[in-house]
Amino acid sequence: MVGVHPDARRQWAKAGVTMPVCFTNCVDCGLGTVVAGEVYTVHDDIWEQAWAGRRKWWYSRVPGQEILCIGCLERRLGRKLVVGDFAAQMPSAWGRAQER
């Protein structure tokens, strides 16, 4: 799954919405996360750190506002992601993170 806030994913799932490709661009740099192969999931607390104080009130109403590529997520956190940050075993995403 792409780096989307879990609440948004749950809302979409409830509505029967699958991930539209046009909603997968990183909000910081515009990178297409699916195209780049950066499909990953991090733990909720990591995601919250990255988004603390950055959300606008309408973000929870508009799908696709909370998508970050690994590089921008690391920049927001101010550190490199480690394997323990990922919520699921995502060897490909982890491999890409290590290449940086």
Q: Which residues bind Zn ion (CB under 5 A)?
A: 26, 28-29, 31, 69, 72
Q: Tokens 């950066």 map to which residue? A: 38
> Of 11 and 49, which CB lies nearer to Zn ion in the complex structure?
49
Note whether 86 and 22 are within 8 A (CB): no
What minimum distance in Å lies between the beta carbon of 30 and Zn ion? 7
> Of 9 and 75, which CB lies nearer to Zn ion in the complex structure?
75
d(CA 24, CA 79): 23
What minimum distance in Å lies between the beta carbon of 15 and Zn ion? 26
What minimum distance in Å lies between the beta carbon of 8 and Zn ion? 18
> Of 12 and 28, which CB lies nearer to Zn ion in the complex structure?
28
Look up residue 70 and give its two tokens.
Answer: 């690994």
Neighbours of 11 (CB within 10 A): 14
What minimum distance in Å lies between the beta carbon of 9 and Zn ion? 19
Nearest to 39 by CA among 78, 77, 76, 73: 73
> Of 26 and 46, which CB lies nearer to Zn ion in the complex structure?
26
